Amino acid sequence: RAMLLRRVNQDERAIADLTEAIKLRPQDEYLYSKRAEIYYSKQQLSNALRDYSRARSLDPANAQYYASNCRKIKAELEQSAKH
């Protein structure tokens, strides 16, 4: 449902749905990854970084993918701190 909400520009509701799903399935890296994508699109970089980091720790098989996203976000955070 969260992805459908996102498609109709209901990002806050999608985040709320994913947050509830995470409470039910806290070991599901996919949920963290999807919430991170939404946070990133909304420029909530700290939240996105936190969720991608959590997804990376839960899914070692895809650690490179999540690590790449984390590096990109860290660079953006550092850049915004300079301005």
pLDDT, tens digit, for every residue of 26-38? 999 999 999 999 9
CA angle centred on 35, ends 33 and 40, rounded to 5° = 90
Residues 28, 63: Cα–Cα separation, whole Å: 14
Model's pTM, two decimal places? 0.83
pLDDT, tens digit, for every residue of 38-47? 999 999 999 9
Print pLDDT tens along the chain (83 aa).
Answer: 766 666 667 788 899 999 999 999 999 999 999 999 999 999 999 999 999 999 999 998 888 888 888 888 899 888 888 87
CA angle centred on 59, ends 58 and 62, rounded to 5° = 150
Sequence-distant (6+) residues with CB within 8 A of 74 are: 49
